[in-house]
Each structure stands twice: as C-alpha cells, then as structure tokens.
Amino acid sequence: MDSTWAEGLVNVVDVEATCWTGSPRPGQVSEIIEIGLTVVDLHAGERRARHRILVRPVRSTVSEFCTELTGLTQHEVDEGVRFADACRLLAAEHRAGARPWISWGDYDRHQFTRQCRATRTPYPFGRHHTNAKAVFTEAYGLRKRPGMAQALEIAGLPLEGRHHRGEDDAWNIAALVLHLSAQGRWPTETEHPV
C-alpha cells in the first residue's frame, strides 16, 4: 500500500479566484486569490487542521462582485504571497505532492493547471485527486451534481462559516468527505483515479 494512503491523511482544497459578473475586464484573467486547505484523517474520521493562503493577483484585480461573493478585498489580497510561493508552501508545508487531495468538482484542479502553465510554476499536487462532487452524486444516486451548500443540506450537515470563502469551503467539503467515509461510500486507494 502507498504510504500516503497508509497514513490516512488527505488534503481538501478549495480556491477562490478573481471573478466578474460577466466576462473578465479587458486584459485580465481569472487568478487564484485564496487557497483553503483542510487536512482530513480518514482513519480517525476527523478534520485535523485548516489553513488559508492568500494569493496576490498580478494579471487581474478584485471586482466589486468578487468582494460581494467571497468577502475578499483588493487590499486584503495585496498582502498575499505570489502564486509561485503559494505553490511552494503547498508542497513544503502541506505535502501537496505526496498526499492525496480532494476538491468539490474539477474547477480547482483545472484552475491550478491553467495558472501553473501560464506562470510556468511547477504544479504542486500529486496524481491522486478525487472529485468529491462526483463521489457524492453517485453515493446519493442524484441526477445532477449539487453545489457544496446543497450537498450539505442533503447530508443534513450545517454550513460552517462563509460560503465562497476558500478556508470555510474546504472545511465544509471535508465534513462531506467524512460523512461519505463514515457511510462506507468514500473510494478506497484501489478505487482512486490515477
């Protein structure tokens, strides 16, 4: 068995990125401005730690719509680290390259891929990724994949913190992962996509 699976620890990741009501402003692209990460111990059935990394955008600014949605302001993210430094932190402090990771849907994985490619930053994660939204949808036999807040309602779990805040969303997704795991509906190592 892979040692990363043997320890039972996984990273649940949720990102917030610059966004607009319609298309991006001319010359701007969507960039990660917050990375929320919750460490989950699948063996113990608990959330171990929660982390937040603010990221300073360089090719976009935080719109009024983005602030309303996430609560993040331009001033706040201006105090963040560069994207490349955030990726190094993920690798060094959170074992992102070795530990399996989970996100709600594939947006977070695709956003990291795009931004790493655009900035020529090494991709910080390993190959073991699980789309928790897909697992939840299958486990509950749903026709449509629910958003995270709707999934919490379906599971009878509370929404903790602010929705669309990376740190809080990662914490809530982790609760859904543990809920599925407790019911024996979370994929095992052999079922994980490679």
Q: What is the CA radius of gyration of the chain?
A: 16
Q: Please give the model's pTM, rounded to 2 decimal places.
A: 0.94
Give me the mean pLDDT over the 166-188 stretch.
Answer: 97
Helix residue ranges per DSSP H, the chain: 3-6, 64-70, 74-78, 83-94, 107-119, 132-139, 148-155, 166-182
- What residue numbers bound the domain in which 35 lies? 3-191
Q: Determine the Cα–Cα distance for residues 98 and 9; give it in Å rounded to an integer.
A: 10
Q: Determine the Cα–Cα distance for residues 6 and 62; give it in Å rounded to an integer.
A: 41
**Total count of domains within the chain:** 1
pLDDT band at 163 (very low <50, low <70, confident <90, very high): very high
AA identity, residue 193:
P
Report the alpha-carbon angle 118-145-140, nearest 5: 135
CATH number where 103 lies:
3.30.420.10
- Res. 1: pLDDT tops 90: no
pLDDT digits (tens, 9 = 90+) for 125-162: 999 999 999 999 999 999 999 999 999 999 999 999 99
pLDDT digits (tens, 9 = 90+) for 70-122: 999 999 999 999 999 999 999 999 999 999 999 999 999 999 999 999 999 99
pLDDT digits (tens, 9 = 90+) for 3-59: 555 679 999 999 999 999 988 889 999 999 999 999 999 999 999 999 999 999 999
Q: Determine the Cα–Cα distance for residues 112 and 106; give it in Å rounded to an integer.
A: 10
Residue 111 neighbours by CB distance under 10 Å? 17
